[in-house]
């Protein structure tokens, strides 16, 4: 994935899209105060300088799907691992809730289900049947909308063709009004996301940690 910070306006359409797509538990003021609110994607803000020559920068942060993910080696039950496609997968069935992974994630993008999620009726009508409802005691995080990836791959397979570049759009990418986010195959050097990642503006978050993350941020340059 590539995120163009020069296009991003910080509007958080991606955040709402993620909630709608992935059945994220609702928080309430009490749980939020304990740091238990869920946002698989968030928009961080940074201040540079001081008034009056201050600048505010917005930066969407989601699971960086690291190739050398700090969360993986600390899981005692292999509930989180890197699959063949390069996704950092979280298997709810395996997770026993040690929370070591969240502790070890430098991006703070993992969330623990302290309770079974509660939705007053009839809000559950909105639940996306393509995505599991997670239960007490498991960790969850951004999946790059694996359900959309799988659907697109299956559709392509049954039509005997390759998945086209740009065909798969995670919910956040789909919703972004400024088209700041691009999703695609980094292994394909011709894909749009590869070209963006290779452009001079691309950096990675906390690159010095050697996580080899797969989200590229295109800097806001003049």
Partner 1 sequence: MLRTDPWSEGLPKRCARITALFLLHAALSLAAVNQPVQFPHNTHMKLGLACVDCHTGADIRAAAGIPSVTKCMLCHAKLATNKPEVKKVIQYAQKGEEIPWRRVYGFSSDAHVKFRHAPHFEANISCATCHGEMSQETVAVRSIDFTMGTCLTCHRQRKASQDCAACHY
Partner 2 sequence: MERRSFFKILSSVSAGVAASSCSNKTDTLIPLLVSNTEIVPGEEQWHPSVCSECSAGCGVIVRVMEGERTVERQGHKFRERIAAIKKIEGNPLDPVSGGRLCARGQSAVQSLYHPDRVTAPMRRKGTRGTAEFVPVSWDEAIDAVSRSLNIQQSADPGKILFLTRPESGSRSATIQNFLSALNAPPPLTCSLASFAVERKASEVVFGWRGVPVYNLARARYVLGVGADFLGGWVSPVYYARQFGEFRRGRPGVRGRFIQAESRMSLTAASADEWLPLLPGSEPEFLTAVTRLLLDARLARDPEQLPPAVLNSIKSADVASLARICGLNVNRLERITRDLGESDAPLVISGASSPNTNSLHAVAAAHYLNALLGNIGRPGGILAPNQDLSPLPLVGSVSEKLKASNFLLLDYQNPVYSLPAAAGARETLSQLEMIVSFSPFIDDSSAYADWILPDHHALETAQAVVPAVAPGSAITVGLPFIRPLYDTRALDQTLVAIAHKMGKSLEPVTPERYVKSLLPPDQTWDQVACRGGLWQEAPKPVGNEVPRVAEAQAAHSEIAVSPDLARFPFYFQPYLSLQFHDGSGANLPWMQELPDPVSSAMWNIPVEIDPQSAARLDIRTGDWVRVQSPYSSFEAPAYVYPAAIPGVVSMAIGDGHQHYGRYASGRGANPIEILAPVLEPSTGTLALGGTRVQIARLDRAPAGFVQFSPRDREQGPWGYR
Do residues 28 and 37 make contact, with C-beta atoms less than 8 angstroms apart? no
Which residue lies nearer to partner 2 by CB, 82 or 220? 220
* Site pattern 18..57 for partner 1 (x: CB under 8 A): ----------x--x--------------------------
Is it true that the peptide bond before 47 is cis, omega within 30 degrees of 0?
Answer: no
Stretch that binds partner 1, among 84-92, 102-110, 201-209, 212-220 (CB under 8 A): 84-92
105, two tokens: 């994630």
Q: How far is the CB of 202 from partner 2 (least distance, A)?
A: 13
Q: Which is nearer to partner 1, 153 or 167 (CB)?
A: 153
3-class SS of residue 71: coil
| Structure-token pair, residue 44 | 């961080």
With CB under 8 A as the contact rule, the residue among 150, 162, 199, 203 that binds partner 1 is 150
Q: Which two tokens stand for residue 106?
A: 């430098």
CB of 28 to partner 1, least distance (A): 7
Contact partner at residue 166 from partner 1, partner 2, none, CB < 5 to 8 Å by partner kind: partner 2
Q: Which of residues 90-149 bind partner 1 (CB under 8 A)?
A: 91-94, 97, 114-116, 118, 130-133, 135-137, 143, 146-147
Kindly tell me which residue out of 68, 178, 188, 203 binds partner 2, with binding defined by CB under 8 A. Answer: 178
Cis peptide bond upstream of 52, omega within 30: yes
Measure the CA–CA gap between 173 and 162, rounded to whole angstroms: 21
Nearer to partner 2, 54 or 84 (CB): 54
* Residue 47 dihedral angles phi and psi, to the nearest 5°: -110, 130
Out of partner 1, partner 2, none, what residue 70 binds, judged by CB under 5 to 8 A for its kind, is: none
Give the helix ranges, DSSP H, for the chain: 13-22, 29-33, 100-104, 146-158, 171-175, 192-198
E strand or H helix that includes residue 85 = none
Classify strands 216-218 and 2-4 as parallel, antiparallel or unpaired: parallel
Residue span binding partner 2 (CB under 8 A) among the ranges 19-27, 63-71, 74-82, 133-141 = 19-27
Sheet of 216-218: strands edge to edge? 181-182, 2-4, 216-218, 202-204
Binding site for partner 2 (CB under 8 A): 4, 6-13, 15-17, 19-21, 26-29, 32-33, 37, 39, 42-47, 50-52, 54-58, 103, 106, 108, 120-130, 166-167, 169, 171, 174-180, 206, 222
């Amino acid at each position: 994935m590539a995120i163009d910070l020069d296009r991003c306006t910080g509007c958080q359409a991606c955040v709402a899209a993620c909630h709608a797509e992935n059945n994220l538990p609702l928080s309430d003021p009490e749980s939020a105060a304990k740091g238990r609110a869920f946002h698989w994607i968030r928009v961080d803000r940074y201040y540079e300088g001081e008034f009056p020559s201050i600048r505010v920068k917005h930066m969407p942060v989601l699971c960086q799907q690291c190739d050398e993910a700090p969360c993986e080696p600390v899981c005692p039950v292999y509930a989180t691992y890197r699959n063949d496609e390069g996704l950092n997968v979280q298997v709810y069935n395996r997770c026993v809730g040690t929370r070591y992974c969240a502790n070890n994630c430098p991006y703070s993008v993992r969330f623990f289900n302290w309770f079974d999620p509660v939705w007053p009726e009839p809000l559950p009508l909105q639940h996306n049947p393509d995505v599991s409802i997670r239960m007490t005691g498991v960790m969850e995080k951004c999946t790059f909308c694996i359900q959309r990836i799988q659907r697109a791959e299956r559709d392509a397979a049954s039509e005997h063709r390759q998945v086209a570049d740009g065909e798969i759009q995670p919910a956040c990418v789909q919703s972004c009004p400024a088209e700041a986010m691009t999703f695609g195959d980094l292994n394909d050097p011709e894909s749009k996301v590869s070209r963006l990642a290779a452009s001079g503006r691309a950096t990675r978050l906390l690159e010095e940690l050697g996580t080899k993350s797969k989200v590229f941020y295109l800097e806001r340059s003049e």
